Amino acid sequence: MGPREEDNSLLLLGAVTLICGLIAFVPLLDPTSRIAETAPERISSKTVIQAGTLSPARVIVPFTPNTTPAQR
């Protein structure tokens, strides 16, 4: 007949826990993952930017409501 209705939430919790555990555990089995191989390349390829040489892209001013909609 299947499980009783009271046990359905427990079965669902167990199934979700098992699936999430497998998703978290399976990448650990691969000793040479692509993420570990490409991480040093991405870090070393970044260039240093001097903050003093950059100009601000946009100046943000405080909001002033339009009290006279007829005038723009």
For residue range 7-63, what is the model confidence (pLDDT) as tens digits? 788 889 999 999 999 988 887 776 666 665 655 655 656 677 777 777 777 878 888
Residues 6+ apart with CB under 8 A from 42: none
Question: Which residue matches tokens 């978290």?
Answer: 24
Would 65 be classed as within a structural domain? no
pTM of the entire predicted model: 0.39
Is residue 44 assigned to a domain?
no
Question: In the chain, how many domains are there?
Answer: 1
Q: State the pLDDT at residue 52.
A: 75
By residue range, what is the domain housing residue 10? 1-39
Query: CA 49, CA 52: separation in Å to the nearest integer?
Result: 9
In a domain, 59, yes or no: no
Q: 3: closest CA among 19, 14, 50?
A: 14
pLDDT at 21: 92
Instruction: Decide if 68 is inside a domain.
Output: no
Question: Is 27 inside any structural domain?
Answer: yes
- Whether residue 2 lies inside any domain: the answer is yes
CB 29 within 8 A of CB 21: no
pLDDT average, residue stretch 58-69: 84
